[in-house]
Amino acid sequence: MILSRYLMRAFLARFVGLLLGLVLFLQTLDLLATANEVLAGGGAPLDSLARYVMLRAPSLMETVAPLAGLLGALTALVTFAKNSEVLAMRAAGRSVLSLVGGLVAVGTALSILLFVFSETVVVRTNGMLEDWRDAGFKPDGQIAEGENSWMMEDTTIIRVGHVMRGGTELVNLRLLKQGQDADITDIIDIDKAVWTVDRWELEGVRRVGGLNDAQTAPPEWKTQLRPEHFMRFANHPNELSLNALQEYVGNVAIGSRPQYFYDTWLHQKIAGPIVLALMPLLAAIAAFAHHRQGSAVLTIVWGITLGFLFIVIDNMILAMGQFGSLPPFVAAWLPLILFLTLGLWIVFNFEHTGART
């Protein structure tokens, strides 16, 4: 138990150091690339740059956390192997599975913290940064929403000409209501919709086409959409919390993209942080696969290669899920399950083939 805690503390200390170092390095590069754009907003230079760093750093931290976990586990195992500490642990009766299990346990705890951090901090700062970017990085800039944005609510396609006053005023709407065979039964234009007392007050409502063009009843818009939906419906899922994403995949789905796009990201919101728990396992594969060569450089290179291979495959399969080529669950979880199974098989095989570190 003492040896396991020793290894886990070494991994955790390296993880924290590498995480801070990687964030500082990437933040410096990012700031050098965007400083002119930020300063062009007209705000006080130091205040504007400091605000940008505070809003950008959480996203960078979330991005590099799995890499820091991989490098932290690799350097811990390589250092222990170089000093014969892993050999001492094995001589004391500790199995490979128990050594790797301790690292994975720390990785799992870090994954939970990363998920909470993403939901409470990263989502909020990403949204604030994009809003500030859309306002031209002006200190008190007003966000001008793009024209002709599209979204769907159930079977109704909605085109929004302009979003104003925090989503409480919509200008130039067009509603395309679909029938059972996806044919357009009604085309309704609305000059303005204003949110008042939990409902939309409509101005200039008229039917302009559709299969029900001869219908005499006045056109209406029955909707569950609220102002906040129009302020965020065009946002990328990394700017939406898990609860917000669930609104996009419910029985009455809304959003500017197909439902399977949001469903894929809903699964990815959970699967993404778990990658941090997988990285120590990938590091152990590299460390034990090259234990006889005794080359620390070879071990680290092999471990980083495994990590980047996972990231490439994960991004490719996630993209297929976003385009509807794979079921959302498969797109989000397949790479994780595949590498987890491979890693456990290699470690289990190493444990029972009589090999020794």
Which pLDDT tens digit goes with each residue over 95-117?
Answer: 777 778 888 899 999 999 999 99
pLDDT for the residue 356: 44
**Residue 253 confidence (pLDDT):** 52
> Where does the pLDDT of residue 132 fall: very low under 50, low under 70, confident under 90, or very high at 90 and above?
confident
Question: How high is the pLDDT of residue 229?
Answer: 73
CA atoms within a 13 Å half-sphere pointing along the CA-CB vector of 66: 23
Least confident window among 133-147, 238-252, 275-289: 133-147
Q: What does the alpha-carbon distance between residue 190 and residue 205 come to, in Å, rounded to a whole number?
A: 5
**Mean of pLDDT values over 318-344:** 91
State residue 41's pLDDT score: 85
Domains of the chain, by residue range, sit at 2-138+264-351, 149-233
Query: For all residues of the chain together, what is the average pLDDT?
Result: 81
Q: Specify the pLDDT at position 46.
A: 92
How many of the other CB atoms lie within 10 Å of CB of 154? 14
- pLDDT tens, residue by residue, 233-270: 556 677 777 877 776 665 445 556 777 888 898 899 99
Q: Residue 293 — very low, low, confident or very high, per pLDDT cuts 50/70/90?
A: low
Q: How much is the average pLDDT of 280-289? A: 78
pLDDT digits (tens, 9 = 90+) for 54-72: 999 999 999 999 999 999 9
